[in-house]
Amino acid sequence: MAALPNHPPLGLQRAVRLDAFTTWKVGGEAQWFGEPATGAELWALVRWAQLQKLPLHCIGAGSNLLIADGGLGGLTLCHRRLQGSQLDGSSGLVEAEAGEPIPTLARKAARAGLSGLEWAVGIPGTVGGAVVMNAGAQGGCTAEWLHSVTLLNPLQPEKPIELLAAELAFGYRQSLLQQEPWIVLSARFQLESGHDPAAITERTSANLHSRTSSQPYQQPSCGSVFRNPEPHKAGQLIEALGLKGRQVGGAQISPMHANFIVNSGGATAADIEALIAEVQDQVQLAHGMRLHTEVRRLGD
């Protein structure tokens, strides 16, 4: 690896613990860590990593993410400071930076009388993460409302890429971006304009109440752990096996919702992995089907 410059770019940090940057509150150290606040800072950090021949890892709000206890080599970029959005109340077109919290965007849209993101208010992630994972809830999902996305290719960071939603091969919690190294810079949504802001806000708030009253939002978790094997619900399959409250180390299947694994205190990524594997084995033994995770894993 080339020698590090005497003045590392843009607040670059070394050996930063990543448990503070995930909603599960687990994860080892990042070899190098950067938290850009502008597109220019992001570009410079990506270019630096390219020159140093370092692998890149990108995180947003750290939800739906399990980082290994051994941490991550290379450069880890956190996008949560890349926030901002523009909403056109007449056309319904909404543009948001990758780090914009998706619940914040949902509330802004509601206040502008724009319908389409009411489902997103309870998702503890960013716009970029929602696009990559095709996040969804309450019967809605990102792919339904996404118009296009601007991406950065780490191999050619000076040439942003713009793709339409139809080019992203969306599926249930799936997109082309999970297989490509591209980094989301911003996203555009086409929402429905002309609605009563009070009515949209009320529906948005009702969706949030529904989620927070039935899911363990007061404890560290990643959200739903397993994809629903339609027409079944993962949480119902797990609950039917009497696994609510089952614990491995500090990782526990939530007594409130069986498709949530919470950090009840001092959990490690290894604890969570062991509990995930136990659930998968028991569901397969009882029901003959393998549950697949929604969780994105980083590190070995």
Task: Give the model confidence (pLDDT) of 82-133 as tens digits.
Answer: 999 999 999 999 999 999 999 999 999 999 999 999 999 999 899 999 999 9
Q: Which residues of 10-28 are buried (b: 16+ CB within 10 A; e: fewer)?
A: eebeeebebbebbbbbbbb
> Any catalytic annotation for residue 107?
no
Q: Which residue segments constitute the domains of the chain, with CATH numbers given?
A: 9-78 (3.30.43.10), 85-213 (3.30.465.10), 216-298 (3.90.78.10)
From 29, 35, 41, 294, active-site residue: 294
- What local confidence, expressed as pLDDT, does residue 6 receive? 43
User: Does residue 272 have a pLDDT over 70?
Assistant: yes
Q: Which of 224, 246, 254, 273 is catalytic?
A: 224
What is the rounded end-to-end Cα distance, in angstroms, of the chain? Answer: 21
- The arrangement of strands across the sheet holding 72-78 comes to 13-17, 29-34, 72-78, 56-59
- Please give the C-alpha separations between residue 76 and each of 14, 60, 72, 299, in angstroms, as whole numbers: 10, 11, 7, 11
The answer to whether residue 224 is catalytic is: yes
Of these ranges, 132-141, 226-235, 246-255, the one predicted with the greatest mean pLDDT is 246-255
User: Who's near 129: CB < 8 A, 6+ residues apart?
Assistant: 60, 61, 63, 64, 102, 135
- Asked about 294 being catalytic, the answer comes back as yes
183: β partners: 152
Q: Which amino acid is at 83?
A: Q
Q: Which one is catalytic: 173, 188, 211, 246?
A: 173
Closest C-alpha to 105, from 46, 146, 71 = 146
- The predicted-structure confidence for 149-158, as pLDDT tens digits, reads as follows 999 999 887 8
